[in-house]
Amino acid sequence: MILFEPDRRRKTAPTLVDQTAAALESAIRAHTLRPGMALPSIRQFARDHGLSTFTVMAAYNRLVARGLLQSRPGADFRVSRRKQAAPAPVPEWVAPRIGSSWLLADVFADHSISIKAGCGWLPPDWHDQAGLPHALRQLSRVPISQMSAYGHPLGYRPLREHIACRLLEHGLEVEPDQILLTHGATQALDIVIRTLLRPGDHVAVEAPCYANLLQILALNRITVHTVPRTAEGVREETLEDLARRHPIRAMFVTTVLQNPTGASFSMAGAFRLLRLAERHAFLVVEDDTSRDLLPEPAPMLAALAGPSRVIYVSGFSKSVAPSIRVGYLACAKPLADPCARTKMSLGLTSAEVMERAVHHVLRDGRHVTYLRGIRERLRLAHDQVAAAMRAHGFEIWGEPGAGLFLWARPPAPRASGDGMIELTSQALKAGIWLAPGSYFDPDGREAGWLRFNVAYSGDPRLWSFFRRQATACLAGGTE
């Protein structure tokens, strides 16, 4: 019985195991292979289709795991007699309700939103289509005995050594044992907060700032004070006043391509912040996850002041892939061990398989070329989206021309308060995710700003939505 003709084009075709399993499943669904029917032996099926016995065995076992085939030791494979469930009907789409739960958790699993203008990651088809698959293929050749243990508490050492070399290129000199690999940069922030701070401690954050940082601080019952973000850094007068009135333990900042404004520190702004930190004896926690997306050099606070004053946090969600979930922190030697103990108490070691994958990607010479291409695509997207904003009367906070984000405000009367909640809700009904400014404010205050991801914001349907909303506002109603 010949069920299919294998497609052997290596670069474009699915694997032979995938093709074999799909052909068998199709034959079972179509009742060409009926319940209880014995399949050809593995050797016979392999001869009939020009496949290896390993390929056929893998396909048969995959369908056994899915309940489509049954097998007994020493016997043949047979089509399962269990009734196969009909495909579930596609439920009617209902727009999700805007709120902190959806924005923080549900949105990551919500594939119903077609235009993710407010999201915080690159589109899937922008990611390196060669480097990561190549790295995963290389990993499949690593003996399982080398990856069967929990791994080192600090993380996979070759990756830590590579990171230390990269940081040295920016002027930050740290040893591999001063680097702690984590489950993404967000976990690195959580580890720093849990290790250094106690409930009631005072910290300063940028306003607006990274939304997940606010949630971590709230969960740890930290007292948060805000310092306005500027085009060159933070407003030093506000920070100076806070440091005089409160025992500020740490200041959390994003140096390069800040989330959500897209702004980067100037050298003068960096030095002014570090002088304040020295004068008032507080630590600076530098979140630097987007540096690889910036075409030109920019200040690195940890390199300017050293790890005794600045704890450096970064990761690879922007430069490799969000699903890899590999981040790290670099700190002074006395702090590395306490941070490692916190990491171990939260979830033991981080995933060495993913750390090895990132190490393979970073060592591949093609990754540098890939990053250059991403920067150019983002530059073009910034030009396109900023032009659309100006054409629709938006106020743009700044135009970095790089990174993921633009921080902009639509024209009145939608520009504040309940108007923005209504606008965001209307957008969800239209299949558009907008990220309102209240999401990035510790007190949930709304001033009419929205975070736009330029990689997702060129869709004409997004701007058609804003035109309809503007027309409805002029008419004195809403759509």
Same domain, 158 and 287: yes
Q: 140 and 263: one domain?
A: yes
The yes-or-no verdict on residue 377 having pLDDT over 70 is yes
Residue 87 domain flag: no
Asked whether residue 405 is assigned to any structural domain, the reply reads yes
Task: List the single range of 69-78, 248-257, 343-352, 452-461 with lowest mean pLDDT.
Answer: 69-78
Residue 478: pLDDT band (50, 70, 90) is: very low
Inform me whether the pLDDT recorded for 469 exceeds 50.
yes
The CATH number given to whatever domain includes residue 47 is 1.10.10.10
Q: Tokens for 52, please give them.
A: 């290896």
- The answer on 159 and 66 residing in a single domain is no
Whole-angstrom distance, CA of residue 401 vs CA of residue 377: 10
Report residue 330's pLDDT band, with 50, 70 and 90 as the boundaries. Answer: very high
Does one domain contain both 258 and 138? yes
pLDDT tops 80 at residue 17: yes
Residue 256: its pLDDT value, please?
97
pLDDT at 67: 84
- My answer on whether 459 and 443 are in the same domain is yes
Residue 83: predicted pLDDT: 58
For residue 365, count other CB atoms closer than 10 A to its CB: 7
What's the pLDDT at 383? 97
Residue 94 lies in a domain: no
| Residues 209 and 308 grouped into a single domain | yes
Task: Name the band, by pLDDT with cuts 50, 70 and 90, for residue 219.
Answer: very high
| Mean per-residue pLDDT, 364-374 | 89
What would the mean pLDDT of 100-109 be, rounded to a whole number?
Answer: 51
93 found inside a domain: no
* Residue 223 DSSP symbol: E
Query: Which of 363, 385, 416 marks a domain boundary?
Result: 363
pLDDT score of 476: 62
- The pLDDT tens digits of the residues spanning 292-320 come to 999 999 999 999 999 999 999 999 998 88
Same domain, 174 and 271: yes
Which pLDDT value is given to residue 147?
72
Instruction: Say yes or no: 112 and 48 in one domain.
Output: no
Establish if 90 belongs to a structural domain.
Answer: no
Q: Average pLDDT of 9-22? A: 80
- Judged against a pLDDT cut of 70, whether residue 107 lies above it is answered with no
228 inside domain: yes
Kindly state whether residue 91 falls inside one of the protein's structural domains: no
Which residues form the domain of 432? 100-119+371-474
pTM of the model: 0.77
Does residue 42 share a domain with residue 113? no
For 371-421, the DSSP string reads HHHHHHHHHHHHHHHHHHHHHTTPEES---SSSSEEEEEPPTTSSSTHHHH
The least confident of 142-146, 225-229, 325-329 is 142-146
Amino acid 127 reads H
Domain of 198, CATH number, reads: 3.40.640.10
Give 98's pLDDT tier (boundaries 50, 70, 90): low
Q: Is 140 left (phi over 0), alpha (psi -120 to 50) or beta?
A: alpha
Mean model confidence pLDDT for the chain: 87
pLDDT value at residue 289: 95
Compute the distance between CA of residue 464 and CA of residue 115 in angstroms, rounded to an integer: 12
For residue 249, count CB atoms less than 10 angstroms from its CB and return exposed for 0-12, middle for 13-18, buried for 19 or more: middle
* Residue 365 in tokens: 């010479």
> What mean pLDDT do residues 253-264 have?
96
Please state, for a pLDDT cut of 90, what percent of the chain lies above it: 55
**Which of 363, 380, 408 is where one domain is finished?**
363
Which of the residue ranges 18-27, 105-114, 159-168, 341-350 would you say has the lowest mean pLDDT?
105-114
My answer on whether 380 and 324 are in the same domain is no
Does 335 lie in the same domain as 269?
A: yes
Residue 126 lies in a domain: no
Q: Which of 337, 363, 389 is the last residue of a domain?
A: 363
Bridge partners for 79 per DSSP: 69
Here the CATH number for the domain that contains residue 450 is: 3.90.1150.10
Say yes or no: 295 and 443 in one domain.
no
Instruction: Assign 149 a pLDDT band (cuts: 50, 70, 90).
Output: confident
Q: What pLDDT is attached to residue 243?
A: 96
Read off the pLDDT of each residue in 35-49 and give the average, rounded to a whole number.
89
Q: Is 433 in contact with 119 (CB distance < 8 Å)?
A: yes
Neighbours of 209 (CB within 10 A): 26
- Region 210-227: mean pLDDT is 94
Q: Report how many domains make up the chain.
A: 3
Residue 423 has pLDDT above 80, yes or no: yes
The reported pLDDT for the residue numbered 351 is: 87
